[in-house]
Structure 1
Protein backbone atom coordinates (compact mmCIF):
# COMPACT_ATOMS: atom_id res chain seq x y z
CA UNK A 1 0.00 0.00 0.00
CA UNK A 2 1.20 3.49 -0.86
CA UNK A 3 0.87 5.92 2.04
CA UNK A 4 0.57 9.69 1.95
CA UNK A 5 2.65 11.80 4.28
CA UNK A 6 -0.29 13.91 5.43
CA UNK A 7 -3.89 13.06 6.30
CA UNK A 8 -6.93 14.91 7.50
CA UNK A 9 -7.17 12.53 10.45
CA UNK A 10 -5.02 9.84 12.00
CA UNK A 11 -6.90 7.30 14.09
CA UNK A 12 -4.72 5.38 16.53
CA UNK A 13 -6.48 2.12 17.34
CA UNK A 14 -8.28 0.07 14.71
CA UNK A 15 -10.68 -2.07 16.68
CA UNK A 16 -14.45 -1.50 16.91
CA UNK A 17 -14.42 2.15 17.89
CA UNK A 18 -11.58 3.14 15.58
CA UNK A 19 -13.17 1.34 12.64
CA UNK A 20 -16.52 2.96 13.35
CA UNK A 21 -14.90 6.39 13.41
CA UNK A 22 -13.04 5.59 10.19
CA UNK A 23 -16.30 4.73 8.46
CA UNK A 24 -17.87 8.04 9.52
CA UNK A 25 -14.84 9.92 8.24
CA UNK A 26 -14.54 7.90 5.03
CA UNK A 27 -18.16 8.65 4.24
CA UNK A 28 -17.32 12.31 4.90
CA UNK A 29 -14.68 12.17 2.13
CA UNK A 30 -11.79 12.58 4.58
CA UNK A 31 -8.30 11.21 4.03
CA UNK A 32 -7.77 8.97 7.04
CA UNK A 33 -5.00 6.74 8.28
CA UNK A 34 -5.81 4.04 10.85
CA UNK A 35 -2.76 2.83 12.79
CA UNK A 36 -3.26 -0.46 14.64
CA UNK A 37 -1.06 -3.34 15.79
CA UNK A 38 -3.82 -5.96 15.77
CA UNK A 39 -4.02 -6.70 19.50
CA UNK A 40 -7.53 -5.79 20.74
CA UNK A 41 -8.14 -6.17 24.47
CA UNK A 42 -10.92 -8.73 23.99
CA UNK A 43 -8.94 -11.01 21.66
CA UNK A 44 -9.24 -13.88 24.17
CA UNK A 45 -13.03 -13.60 24.46
CA UNK A 46 -14.73 -16.36 22.44
CA UNK A 47 -18.04 -14.59 21.77
CA UNK A 48 -19.45 -11.07 21.84
CA UNK A 49 -22.97 -10.42 23.09
CA UNK A 50 -25.55 -7.68 23.53
CA UNK A 51 -24.64 -6.07 20.19
CA UNK A 52 -27.71 -6.33 17.98
CA UNK A 53 -27.17 -8.04 14.58
CA UNK A 54 -23.91 -9.54 15.93
CA UNK A 55 -25.04 -11.30 19.11
CA UNK A 56 -22.92 -14.38 19.76
CA UNK A 57 -20.33 -13.74 17.05
CA UNK A 58 -16.61 -14.01 17.66
CA UNK A 59 -15.05 -10.59 18.25
CA UNK A 60 -12.48 -11.19 15.50
CA UNK A 61 -15.27 -11.95 13.01
CA UNK A 62 -17.03 -8.68 13.84
CA UNK A 63 -13.88 -6.59 13.48
CA UNK A 64 -12.82 -8.36 10.26
CA UNK A 65 -16.20 -7.70 8.68
CA UNK A 66 -16.06 -4.09 9.87
CA UNK A 67 -12.60 -3.58 8.38
CA UNK A 68 -13.70 -5.03 5.04
CA UNK A 69 -16.59 -2.57 4.94
CA UNK A 70 -14.40 0.39 5.90
CA UNK A 71 -11.87 -0.55 3.20
CA UNK A 72 -14.60 0.15 0.64
CA UNK A 73 -13.94 3.86 1.25
CA UNK A 74 -10.83 4.64 -0.79
CA UNK A 75 -9.81 7.62 1.32
CA UNK A 76 -9.27 5.40 4.39
CA UNK A 77 -5.91 3.66 4.65
CA UNK A 78 -4.60 1.17 7.21
CA UNK A 79 -1.12 0.86 8.68
CA UNK A 80 -0.23 -2.25 10.65
CA UNK A 81 2.10 -1.05 13.37
CA UNK A 82 2.51 0.65 16.72
CA UNK A 83 2.43 4.42 17.23
CA UNK A 84 5.22 5.28 19.68
CA UNK A 85 5.45 9.07 19.59
CA UNK A 86 3.11 12.01 19.02
CA UNK A 87 4.09 15.65 18.57
CA UNK A 88 1.82 18.67 18.22
CA UNK A 89 2.92 20.90 15.34
CA UNK A 90 1.75 24.23 13.93
CA UNK A 91 -0.39 22.48 11.33
CA UNK A 92 -1.57 19.53 13.41
CA UNK A 93 0.22 16.43 14.64
CA UNK A 94 3.15 14.21 13.78
CA UNK A 95 3.01 10.49 14.59
CA UNK A 96 6.01 8.18 14.62
CA UNK A 97 5.65 4.39 14.48
CA UNK A 98 7.93 1.70 15.88
CA UNK A 99 9.23 1.03 12.36
CA UNK A 100 10.36 4.65 12.00
CA UNK A 101 7.54 5.78 9.71
CA UNK A 102 6.37 9.37 10.17
CA UNK A 103 2.81 10.44 9.40
CA UNK A 104 1.15 13.82 9.88
CA UNK A 105 -2.47 14.87 10.22
CA UNK A 106 -4.61 17.86 11.07
CA UNK A 107 -6.52 15.92 13.73
CA UNK A 108 -5.91 12.94 15.99
CA UNK A 109 -8.43 10.43 17.27
CA UNK A 110 -7.40 7.97 19.96
CA UNK A 111 -9.41 4.73 20.04
CA UNK A 112 -6.73 2.87 21.95
CA UNK A 113 -8.70 1.28 24.78
CA UNK A 114 -7.33 0.38 28.19
CA UNK A 115 -5.08 -2.30 29.63
CA UNK A 116 -6.60 -4.48 32.35
CA UNK A 117 -4.39 -5.05 35.38
CA UNK A 118 -5.10 -8.59 36.49
CA UNK A 119 -4.10 -10.10 39.85
CA UNK A 120 -1.03 -12.32 39.83
CA UNK A 121 -3.07 -15.44 40.54
CA UNK A 122 -2.13 -18.51 38.45
CA UNK A 123 -4.88 -19.25 35.95
CA UNK A 124 -6.56 -15.85 36.27
CA UNK A 125 -5.21 -14.31 33.05
CA UNK A 126 -5.89 -17.52 31.11
CA UNK A 127 -9.56 -17.40 32.14
CA UNK A 128 -10.00 -13.65 31.61
CA UNK A 129 -12.77 -12.98 29.09
CA UNK A 130 -13.69 -16.67 28.92
CA UNK A 131 -14.94 -17.69 32.37
CA UNK A 132 -13.63 -14.76 34.42
CA UNK A 133 -15.99 -12.04 33.28
CA UNK A 134 -16.21 -8.26 33.63
CA UNK A 135 -19.79 -7.56 32.54
CA UNK A 136 -23.07 -9.42 33.11
CA UNK A 137 -24.72 -7.55 30.23
CA UNK A 138 -22.06 -8.95 27.88
CA UNK A 139 -21.81 -12.48 29.29
CA UNK A 140 -24.28 -13.00 32.15
CA UNK A 141 -26.98 -14.74 30.13
CA UNK A 142 -24.60 -17.51 29.13
CA UNK A 143 -23.89 -18.36 32.79
CA UNK A 144 -27.33 -17.60 34.21
CA UNK A 145 -28.32 -19.66 37.26
CA UNK A 146 -24.86 -21.24 37.38
CA UNK A 147 -22.56 -21.55 40.36
CA UNK A 148 -20.84 -18.18 40.35
CA UNK A 149 -18.36 -16.17 42.38
CA UNK A 150 -17.41 -12.51 42.56
CA UNK A 151 -13.85 -11.51 43.42
CA UNK A 152 -14.16 -8.13 45.12
CA UNK A 153 -14.35 -6.47 48.53
CA UNK A 154 -15.94 -3.52 50.29
CA UNK A 155 -18.44 -1.33 48.48
CA UNK A 156 -17.50 -2.79 45.11
CA UNK A 157 -18.09 -6.31 46.35
CA UNK A 158 -21.45 -5.36 47.83
CA UNK A 159 -22.73 -3.51 44.75
CA UNK A 160 -21.44 -6.13 42.32
CA UNK A 161 -23.07 -8.90 44.37
CA UNK A 162 -26.39 -7.05 44.22
CA UNK A 163 -26.09 -6.78 40.45
CA UNK A 164 -25.05 -10.36 39.72
CA UNK A 165 -27.81 -11.74 41.96
CA UNK A 166 -30.14 -10.78 39.11
CA UNK A 167 -28.56 -13.51 36.94
CA UNK A 168 -27.94 -16.22 39.55
CA UNK A 169 -28.87 -16.95 43.15
CA UNK A 170 -26.03 -19.50 43.46
CA UNK A 171 -23.57 -16.79 44.40
CA UNK A 172 -20.64 -16.25 46.71
CA UNK A 173 -18.45 -13.19 47.31
CA UNK A 174 -14.71 -13.88 47.55
CA UNK A 175 -13.00 -11.02 49.36
CA UNK A 176 -9.57 -12.67 48.94
CA UNK A 177 -8.58 -11.68 52.46
CA UNK A 178 -10.30 -9.97 55.38
CA UNK A 179 -13.68 -8.54 54.45
CA UNK A 180 -14.02 -4.74 54.41
CA UNK A 181 -17.80 -4.88 54.08
CA UNK A 182 -19.81 -2.93 56.62
CA UNK A 183 -21.94 -4.81 59.13
CA UNK A 184 -25.06 -3.68 57.28
CA UNK A 185 -23.70 -4.84 53.92
CA UNK A 186 -22.70 -8.21 55.37
CA UNK A 187 -26.12 -8.77 56.90
CA UNK A 188 -27.95 -7.82 53.72
CA UNK A 189 -25.85 -10.15 51.58
CA UNK A 190 -26.40 -12.97 54.03
CA UNK A 191 -30.15 -12.33 53.94
CA UNK A 192 -29.97 -12.85 50.19
CA UNK A 193 -27.96 -16.08 50.61
CA UNK A 194 -24.73 -14.63 49.24
CA UNK A 195 -21.91 -16.53 50.94
CA UNK A 196 -18.94 -14.37 51.96
CA UNK A 197 -15.58 -16.17 51.83
CA UNK A 198 -12.49 -14.41 53.18
CA UNK A 199 -9.93 -17.14 52.36
CA UNK A 200 -7.08 -15.98 50.14
CA UNK A 201 -7.05 -17.35 46.58
CA UNK A 202 -4.07 -19.43 45.50
CA UNK A 203 -5.00 -20.36 41.91
CA UNK A 204 -7.73 -21.08 39.39
CA UNK A 205 -7.93 -24.58 37.97
CA UNK A 206 -9.23 -24.45 34.42
CA UNK A 207 -9.33 -26.17 31.06
CA UNK A 208 -8.55 -23.87 28.13
CA UNK A 209 -9.75 -20.87 30.10
CA UNK A 210 -12.95 -22.48 31.37
CA UNK A 211 -12.77 -22.49 35.15
CA UNK A 212 -13.28 -25.73 37.01
CA UNK A 213 -12.53 -24.67 40.56
CA UNK A 214 -10.89 -22.08 42.78
CA UNK A 215 -8.12 -23.32 45.06
CA UNK A 216 -7.48 -21.31 48.22
CA UNK A 217 -4.21 -20.96 50.11
CA UNK A 218 -5.65 -23.06 52.95
CA UNK A 219 -6.14 -25.80 50.28
CA UNK A 220 -9.93 -25.65 50.36
CA UNK A 221 -11.65 -25.66 46.95
CA UNK A 222 -14.86 -24.47 45.34
CA UNK A 223 -16.18 -25.71 42.00
CA UNK A 224 -17.51 -22.90 39.82
CA UNK A 225 -18.79 -22.10 36.33
CA UNK A 226 -18.01 -18.38 36.31
CA UNK A 227 -16.25 -15.58 38.18
CA UNK A 228 -16.94 -11.85 37.91
CA UNK A 229 -14.12 -9.39 38.42
CA UNK A 230 -13.85 -5.66 37.76
CA UNK A 231 -10.21 -5.20 36.84
CA UNK A 232 -8.35 -2.00 37.57
CA UNK A 233 -6.85 -0.59 34.39
CA UNK A 234 -4.50 1.93 32.84
CA UNK A 235 -4.50 3.63 29.47
CA UNK A 236 -3.29 1.20 26.84
CA UNK A 237 -1.52 3.95 24.93
CA UNK A 238 0.66 6.59 26.65
CA UNK A 239 0.51 9.06 23.76
CA UNK A 240 -2.59 11.04 24.83
CA UNK A 241 -0.98 11.83 28.17
CA UNK A 242 2.31 12.70 26.46
CA UNK A 243 0.40 15.32 24.47
CA UNK A 244 -1.10 16.72 27.67
CA UNK A 245 -4.57 15.16 27.52
CA UNK A 246 -6.13 15.10 30.97
CA UNK A 247 -7.49 11.97 32.62
CA UNK A 248 -10.54 11.66 34.84
CA UNK A 249 -10.19 10.54 38.46
CA UNK A 250 -10.97 7.02 37.19
CA UNK A 251 -8.05 7.05 34.74
CA UNK A 252 -10.11 7.57 31.59
CA UNK A 253 -9.43 10.22 28.97
CA UNK A 254 -11.45 13.33 29.76
CA UNK A 255 -13.67 14.37 26.85
CA UNK A 256 -16.48 16.86 26.38
CA UNK A 257 -19.89 16.25 24.80
CA UNK A 258 -18.26 16.30 21.35
CA UNK A 259 -15.58 13.67 22.10
CA UNK A 260 -12.89 16.35 22.33
CA UNK A 261 -10.07 15.82 24.81
CA UNK A 262 -8.52 18.71 26.71
CA UNK A 263 -5.96 19.20 23.90
CA UNK A 264 -7.21 21.10 20.84
CA UNK A 265 -7.45 18.83 17.82
CA UNK A 266 -7.30 15.58 19.78
CA UNK A 267 -10.41 13.41 20.11
CA UNK A 268 -11.08 10.09 21.84
CA UNK A 269 -13.58 7.26 21.45
CA UNK A 270 -14.23 3.82 22.85
CA UNK A 271 -12.96 2.20 26.03
CA UNK A 272 -10.21 4.76 26.60
CA UNK A 273 -12.89 7.20 27.76
CA UNK A 274 -16.03 5.11 28.45
CA UNK A 275 -16.56 3.66 31.92
CA UNK A 276 -19.01 0.98 30.73
CA UNK A 277 -17.17 -1.24 28.27
CA UNK A 278 -18.94 -3.07 25.45
CA UNK A 279 -18.60 -3.51 21.71
CA UNK A 280 -21.90 -1.73 21.10
CA UNK A 281 -20.87 1.33 23.12
CA UNK A 282 -17.44 1.42 21.46
CA UNK A 283 -19.02 1.39 18.00
CA UNK A 284 -21.48 4.12 18.94
CA UNK A 285 -18.75 6.28 20.44
CA UNK A 286 -16.55 5.89 17.37
CA UNK A 287 -19.31 6.77 14.94
CA UNK A 288 -20.12 9.95 16.85
CA UNK A 289 -16.45 10.89 17.29
CA UNK A 290 -15.83 10.57 13.55
CA UNK A 291 -18.70 12.94 12.86
CA UNK A 292 -17.41 15.43 15.42
CA UNK A 293 -13.89 15.40 13.95
CA UNK A 294 -15.37 16.04 10.52
CA UNK A 295 -17.47 18.92 11.85
CA UNK A 296 -14.40 20.57 13.38
CA UNK A 297 -12.58 20.30 10.05
CA UNK A 298 -15.56 21.83 8.24
CA UNK A 299 -15.81 24.69 10.74
CA UNK A 300 -12.11 25.46 10.34
CA UNK A 301 -12.26 25.46 6.52
CA UNK A 302 -15.57 27.28 6.06
CA UNK A 303 -14.22 30.80 6.67
Structure 2
Protein backbone atom coordinates (compact mmCIF):
# COMPACT_ATOMS: atom_id res chain seq x y z
CA UNK A 1 0.00 0.00 0.00
CA UNK A 2 1.36 3.38 -1.06
CA UNK A 3 0.34 6.72 0.32
CA UNK A 4 0.10 8.07 -3.22
CA UNK A 5 0.20 6.56 -6.69
CA UNK A 6 1.09 8.87 -9.59
CA UNK A 7 0.39 7.88 -13.18
CA UNK A 8 2.58 9.78 -15.65
CA UNK A 9 6.22 10.81 -15.54
CA UNK A 10 6.20 14.23 -17.21
CA UNK A 11 6.68 17.57 -15.44
CA UNK A 12 3.40 17.24 -13.52
CA UNK A 13 4.03 13.73 -12.25
CA UNK A 14 7.70 14.29 -11.49
CA UNK A 15 7.07 17.50 -9.56
CA UNK A 16 4.23 15.89 -7.60
CA UNK A 17 6.52 13.02 -6.65
CA UNK A 18 9.28 15.45 -5.66
CA UNK A 19 7.05 17.43 -3.30
CA UNK A 20 5.56 14.27 -1.78
CA UNK A 21 8.99 12.73 -1.37
CA UNK A 22 10.06 15.77 0.60
CA UNK A 23 6.98 15.18 2.77
CA UNK A 24 8.28 11.65 3.43
CA UNK A 25 5.29 10.06 1.76
CA UNK A 26 5.54 6.60 0.24
CA UNK A 27 5.01 7.24 -3.45
CA UNK A 28 4.79 5.05 -6.55
CA UNK A 29 5.28 6.87 -9.85
CA UNK A 30 4.48 4.86 -12.99
CA UNK A 31 5.80 6.18 -16.29
CA UNK A 32 4.82 4.52 -19.58
CA UNK A 33 7.54 6.50 -21.37
CA UNK A 34 5.50 8.04 -24.20
CA UNK A 35 5.41 11.79 -23.46
CA UNK A 36 3.31 14.12 -25.58
CA UNK A 37 6.29 16.39 -26.30
CA UNK A 38 8.70 13.61 -27.33
CA UNK A 39 9.09 15.04 -30.84
CA UNK A 40 9.60 18.60 -29.66
CA UNK A 41 12.92 20.40 -30.21
CA UNK A 42 12.86 21.75 -26.67
CA UNK A 43 10.79 22.75 -23.66
CA UNK A 44 10.38 26.51 -23.85
CA UNK A 45 9.11 29.07 -21.36
CA UNK A 46 10.35 27.01 -18.40
CA UNK A 47 12.37 29.26 -16.10
CA UNK A 48 16.03 28.11 -15.83
CA UNK A 49 15.36 25.35 -18.41
CA UNK A 50 14.30 27.36 -21.49
CA UNK A 51 14.95 25.28 -24.60
CA UNK A 52 15.99 22.11 -22.78
CA UNK A 53 15.27 18.87 -24.73
CA UNK A 54 12.20 17.12 -23.26
CA UNK A 55 14.11 13.93 -22.56
CA UNK A 56 16.81 15.83 -20.67
CA UNK A 57 14.24 17.55 -18.47
CA UNK A 58 12.75 14.19 -17.59
CA UNK A 59 16.19 12.73 -16.93
CA UNK A 60 17.05 15.52 -14.49
CA UNK A 61 13.70 15.14 -12.76
CA UNK A 62 14.15 11.40 -12.35
CA UNK A 63 17.67 11.89 -11.04
CA UNK A 64 16.44 14.33 -8.41
CA UNK A 65 13.81 11.86 -7.23
CA UNK A 66 16.62 9.43 -6.44
CA UNK A 67 17.46 11.49 -3.35
CA UNK A 68 14.17 10.50 -1.72
CA UNK A 69 14.07 6.92 -0.50
CA UNK A 70 10.28 6.84 -0.12
CA UNK A 71 9.71 7.53 -3.84
CA UNK A 72 9.61 4.51 -6.14
CA UNK A 73 9.75 5.10 -9.90
CA UNK A 74 8.77 2.36 -12.31
CA UNK A 75 8.91 2.30 -16.09
CA UNK A 76 5.49 0.74 -16.34
CA UNK A 77 2.16 1.32 -18.01
CA UNK A 78 -0.96 1.35 -15.85
CA UNK A 79 -3.53 -0.86 -17.57
CA UNK A 80 -6.38 -0.12 -15.17
CA UNK A 81 -7.25 1.88 -12.08
CA UNK A 82 -10.22 1.51 -9.77
CA UNK A 83 -11.73 3.68 -7.08
CA UNK A 84 -12.73 1.05 -4.52
CA UNK A 85 -13.87 3.50 -1.87
CA UNK A 86 -12.61 1.20 0.87
CA UNK A 87 -10.76 2.69 3.85
CA UNK A 88 -8.00 0.08 3.64
CA UNK A 89 -7.59 0.38 -0.17
CA UNK A 90 -9.21 3.51 -1.65
CA UNK A 91 -7.54 3.02 -5.05
CA UNK A 92 -6.19 -0.04 -6.84
CA UNK A 93 -3.95 0.05 -9.90
CA UNK A 94 -3.28 -2.83 -12.27
CA UNK A 95 0.04 -2.57 -14.08
CA UNK A 96 0.54 -3.82 -17.62
CA UNK A 97 2.19 -7.00 -16.36
CA UNK A 98 -0.77 -7.84 -14.16
CA UNK A 99 0.62 -6.69 -10.80
CA UNK A 100 -1.87 -4.90 -8.56
CA UNK A 101 -0.99 -2.17 -6.09
CA UNK A 102 -3.07 -0.13 -3.69
CA UNK A 103 -2.86 3.55 -2.85
CA UNK A 104 -4.61 5.91 -0.49
CA UNK A 105 -4.55 8.75 -3.03
CA UNK A 106 -4.19 8.91 -6.78
CA UNK A 107 -2.73 11.62 -9.03
CA UNK A 108 -3.25 11.31 -12.77
CA UNK A 109 -0.56 13.16 -14.70
CA UNK A 110 -1.13 11.27 -17.92
CA UNK A 111 -1.26 14.28 -20.23
CA UNK A 112 -2.86 14.10 -23.68
CA UNK A 113 -2.32 12.28 -26.94
CA UNK A 114 -2.22 14.42 -30.09
CA UNK A 115 -4.15 13.18 -33.13
CA UNK A 116 -2.69 14.86 -36.20
CA UNK A 117 -4.63 15.52 -39.42
CA UNK A 118 -4.19 12.69 -41.90
CA UNK A 119 -1.99 14.63 -44.30
CA UNK A 120 1.16 13.21 -45.88
CA UNK A 121 4.28 14.62 -44.24
CA UNK A 122 2.49 15.94 -41.15
CA UNK A 123 3.80 13.32 -38.74
CA UNK A 124 7.35 13.53 -40.12
CA UNK A 125 7.56 17.28 -39.53
CA UNK A 126 5.64 17.29 -36.24
CA UNK A 127 7.54 19.03 -33.45
CA UNK A 128 10.19 20.35 -35.87
CA UNK A 129 8.30 22.75 -38.14
CA UNK A 130 4.69 21.73 -37.49
CA UNK A 131 3.35 22.76 -34.09
CA UNK A 132 0.21 23.49 -32.12
CA UNK A 133 1.41 26.03 -29.53
CA UNK A 134 2.85 29.40 -30.58
CA UNK A 135 3.85 30.17 -26.99
CA UNK A 136 6.06 27.09 -27.07
CA UNK A 137 7.48 27.39 -30.60
CA UNK A 138 6.48 30.74 -32.08
CA UNK A 139 9.66 32.53 -31.03
CA UNK A 140 11.90 30.11 -32.90
CA UNK A 141 9.83 30.59 -36.08
CA UNK A 142 9.37 34.36 -35.73
CA UNK A 143 9.20 36.52 -38.86
CA UNK A 144 9.19 33.52 -41.18
CA UNK A 145 6.36 32.76 -43.62
CA UNK A 146 3.88 30.70 -41.62
CA UNK A 147 0.56 28.97 -42.15
CA UNK A 148 -2.26 28.17 -39.75
CA UNK A 149 -4.32 25.02 -40.32
CA UNK A 150 -7.91 25.42 -39.17
CA UNK A 151 -11.33 26.70 -40.08
CA UNK A 152 -14.29 28.56 -38.68
CA UNK A 153 -14.08 31.09 -35.89
CA UNK A 154 -11.47 29.03 -34.05
CA UNK A 155 -9.14 29.04 -37.03
CA UNK A 156 -9.69 32.76 -37.56
CA UNK A 157 -8.91 33.65 -33.95
CA UNK A 158 -5.82 31.46 -33.93
CA UNK A 159 -4.55 33.08 -37.13
CA UNK A 160 -4.96 36.55 -35.63
CA UNK A 161 -3.12 35.39 -32.52
CA UNK A 162 -0.22 34.18 -34.68
CA UNK A 163 0.35 37.73 -35.94
CA UNK A 164 2.38 38.28 -32.75
CA UNK A 165 5.08 36.10 -34.29
CA UNK A 166 4.81 36.72 -38.05
CA UNK A 167 3.06 39.14 -40.40
CA UNK A 168 3.47 36.74 -43.33
CA UNK A 169 0.57 34.46 -42.53
CA UNK A 170 -1.88 32.29 -44.48
CA UNK A 171 -4.92 30.49 -43.06
CA UNK A 172 -5.39 27.03 -44.60
CA UNK A 173 -8.94 25.77 -44.16
CA UNK A 174 -8.52 22.51 -46.16
CA UNK A 175 -11.97 22.96 -47.69
CA UNK A 176 -14.76 25.48 -47.04
CA UNK A 177 -13.52 28.10 -44.57
CA UNK A 178 -16.80 28.25 -42.62
CA UNK A 179 -16.20 31.95 -42.02
CA UNK A 180 -18.67 34.79 -41.98
CA UNK A 181 -18.15 37.79 -44.27
CA UNK A 182 -17.21 39.78 -41.18
CA UNK A 183 -14.55 37.26 -40.15
CA UNK A 184 -13.12 37.21 -43.66
CA UNK A 185 -12.91 40.99 -43.69
CA UNK A 186 -11.17 40.95 -40.31
CA UNK A 187 -8.50 38.56 -41.60
CA UNK A 188 -7.97 40.60 -44.77
CA UNK A 189 -7.67 43.84 -42.80
CA UNK A 190 -4.94 42.23 -40.74
CA UNK A 191 -3.04 40.93 -43.76
CA UNK A 192 -3.96 37.25 -43.39
CA UNK A 193 -4.64 35.40 -46.64
CA UNK A 194 -7.11 32.50 -46.84
CA UNK A 195 -6.55 29.33 -48.90
CA UNK A 196 -9.55 26.98 -49.07
CA UNK A 197 -8.04 24.36 -51.39
CA UNK A 198 -7.71 20.86 -49.96
CA UNK A 199 -4.23 20.12 -48.65
CA UNK A 200 -2.54 17.11 -50.24
CA UNK A 201 0.80 16.95 -48.44
CA UNK A 202 3.57 18.80 -46.68
CA UNK A 203 6.94 18.86 -48.41
CA UNK A 204 10.34 19.36 -46.84
CA UNK A 205 13.35 17.59 -45.41
CA UNK A 206 15.49 17.29 -42.30
CA UNK A 207 12.54 18.37 -40.16
CA UNK A 208 12.00 21.63 -42.06
CA UNK A 209 8.82 22.47 -43.95
CA UNK A 210 9.45 23.90 -47.41
CA UNK A 211 6.02 24.03 -49.03
CA UNK A 212 2.42 22.95 -48.74
CA UNK A 213 1.04 21.14 -51.78
CA UNK A 214 -2.68 21.28 -52.58
CA UNK A 215 -4.76 18.68 -54.41
CA UNK A 216 -5.07 20.95 -57.46
CA UNK A 217 -1.27 20.82 -57.84
CA UNK A 218 -0.57 24.35 -56.66
CA UNK A 219 1.86 24.94 -53.80
CA UNK A 220 2.47 27.47 -51.05
CA UNK A 221 5.99 28.16 -49.81
CA UNK A 222 5.98 28.14 -45.99
CA UNK A 223 8.55 27.59 -43.24
CA UNK A 224 6.23 26.58 -40.40
CA UNK A 225 2.69 25.34 -39.86
CA UNK A 226 0.64 25.76 -36.69
CA UNK A 227 -2.48 23.68 -36.03
CA UNK A 228 -5.52 25.45 -34.66
CA UNK A 229 -7.55 23.30 -32.31
CA UNK A 230 -6.13 19.88 -33.04
CA UNK A 231 -7.78 16.73 -31.73
CA UNK A 232 -6.45 15.57 -28.37
CA UNK A 233 -7.33 12.35 -26.58
CA UNK A 234 -7.36 11.81 -22.84
CA UNK A 235 -5.94 8.69 -21.24
CA UNK A 236 -8.43 5.82 -20.99
CA UNK A 237 -8.17 5.95 -17.19
CA UNK A 238 -10.04 9.27 -17.20
CA UNK A 239 -13.17 7.54 -18.50
CA UNK A 240 -12.59 4.44 -16.43
CA UNK A 241 -12.56 6.47 -13.20
CA UNK A 242 -15.65 8.52 -14.06
CA UNK A 243 -14.05 11.96 -14.07
CA UNK A 244 -16.10 14.99 -15.11
CA UNK A 245 -14.96 16.85 -18.22
CA UNK A 246 -15.10 20.50 -19.26
CA UNK A 247 -16.57 21.80 -22.52
CA UNK A 248 -13.00 21.74 -23.90
CA UNK A 249 -12.76 18.01 -23.25
CA UNK A 250 -10.25 18.26 -20.40
CA UNK A 251 -10.81 17.05 -16.85
CA UNK A 252 -12.75 19.43 -14.62
CA UNK A 253 -10.52 20.21 -11.65
CA UNK A 254 -11.03 22.52 -8.71
CA UNK A 255 -8.83 23.79 -5.92
CA UNK A 256 -5.34 22.27 -6.09
CA UNK A 257 -6.36 20.00 -9.01
CA UNK A 258 -9.05 18.09 -7.06
CA UNK A 259 -11.64 16.22 -9.17
CA UNK A 260 -15.19 15.03 -8.58
CA UNK A 261 -13.75 11.74 -7.27
CA UNK A 262 -12.58 12.15 -3.64
CA UNK A 263 -8.87 11.52 -3.24
CA UNK A 264 -8.19 11.69 -6.98
CA UNK A 265 -6.32 14.60 -8.54
CA UNK A 266 -5.45 15.43 -12.14
CA UNK A 267 -2.41 17.58 -12.95
CA UNK A 268 -0.85 18.62 -16.24
CA UNK A 269 -2.19 18.87 -19.78
CA UNK A 270 -5.27 16.73 -19.04
CA UNK A 271 -6.61 19.35 -16.62
CA UNK A 272 -8.32 22.62 -17.47
CA UNK A 273 -5.45 25.12 -17.44
CA UNK A 274 -2.90 26.39 -19.95
CA UNK A 275 -0.95 23.48 -21.41
CA UNK A 276 2.63 24.58 -20.69
CA UNK A 277 5.27 22.32 -19.14
CA UNK A 278 5.96 24.86 -16.41
CA UNK A 279 2.22 25.04 -15.60
CA UNK A 280 2.03 21.25 -15.51
CA UNK A 281 4.89 21.17 -13.01
CA UNK A 282 3.11 23.77 -10.87
CA UNK A 283 -0.13 21.79 -10.97
CA UNK A 284 1.76 18.69 -9.86
CA UNK A 285 3.13 20.62 -6.89
CA UNK A 286 -0.33 21.91 -5.97
CA UNK A 287 -1.86 18.44 -6.18
CA UNK A 288 0.93 17.07 -3.99
CA UNK A 289 0.32 19.78 -1.40
CA UNK A 290 -3.41 18.97 -1.27
CA UNK A 291 -2.79 15.22 -1.11
CA UNK A 292 -0.35 15.56 1.79
CA UNK A 293 -2.77 17.83 3.62
CA UNK A 294 -5.59 15.28 3.18
CA UNK A 295 -3.41 12.48 4.44
CA UNK A 296 -2.43 14.51 7.51
CA UNK A 297 -6.09 15.12 8.31
CA UNK A 298 -7.01 11.45 7.87
CA UNK A 299 -4.12 10.28 10.02
CA UNK A 300 -5.27 12.52 12.90
CA UNK A 301 -8.79 11.06 12.94
TM-score, normalised via structure 2 length? 0.96
Does residue 159 of structure 1 match 2:157? yes
Mapping of residues 1-303 of structure 1, within 5 Å: 6-89=1-84, 90=86, 91-229=89-227, 230-235=229-234, 237-303=235-301
For the 8 Å contact 2:7–2:29, the answer to whether it is kept is yes
1:17-58: per-residue Cα shift (whole Å, max 9, x none)?
Answer: 100000010011100000111110100111111111011111
Aligned counterparts of 1:126 and 1:257: Cα–Cα separation in 2 = 39
Aligned counterparts of 1:250 and 1:205: Cα–Cα separation in 2 = 32
1:138-176: per-residue Cα shift (whole Å, max 9, x none)?
Answer: 111111110000001111111111110111100010011
Q: Secondary structure at the match of 1:125?
A: helix
Aligned counterparts of 2:117 and 2:233: Cα–Cα separation in 1 = 14
Aligned counterparts of 2:280 and 2:209: Cα–Cα separation in 1 = 28
Aligned residue number for residue 3 of structure 1: none
Provide the aligned length of Structure 1 versus Structure 2: 297
Q: State the shift of 1:71 in Å.
A: 1.7
Q: State the shift of 1:202 in Å.
A: 0.5
Aligned counterparts of 1:95 and 1:213: Cα–Cα separation in 2 = 47
Judged with a 3 Å threshold, the aligned counterparts in structure 2 of structure 1 residues 274 and 141 are, in CA distance, closer, same or farther, namely: same
For the 8 Å contact 1:126–1:208, the answer to whether it is kept is no
1:191-234: per-residue Cα shift (whole Å, max 9, x none)?
Answer: 12111000100011121332111110001111111111031211
Q: Secondary structure at the match of 2:194?
A: strand
Aligned counterparts of 2:261 and 2:239: Cα–Cα separation in 1 = 10
1:78-119: per-residue Cα shift (whole Å, max 9, x none)?
Answer: 111110111222131110011111111101100000111211
For the 8 Å contact 1:50–1:280, the answer to whether it is kept is yes
For the 8 Å contact 2:121–2:203, the answer to whether it is kept is yes
Aligned counterparts of 1:252 and 1:206: Cα–Cα separation in 2 = 34
Aligned counterparts of 1:275 and 1:117: Cα–Cα separation in 2 = 20
- Aligned-CA RMSD value: 1.1
Aligned counterparts of 2:272 and 2:225: Cα–Cα separation in 1 = 23
Aligned counterparts of 2:237 and 2:168: Cα–Cα separation in 1 = 44
For the 8 Å contact 2:24–2:70, the answer to whether it is kept is yes
Q: State the shift of 1:258 in Å.
A: 2.4
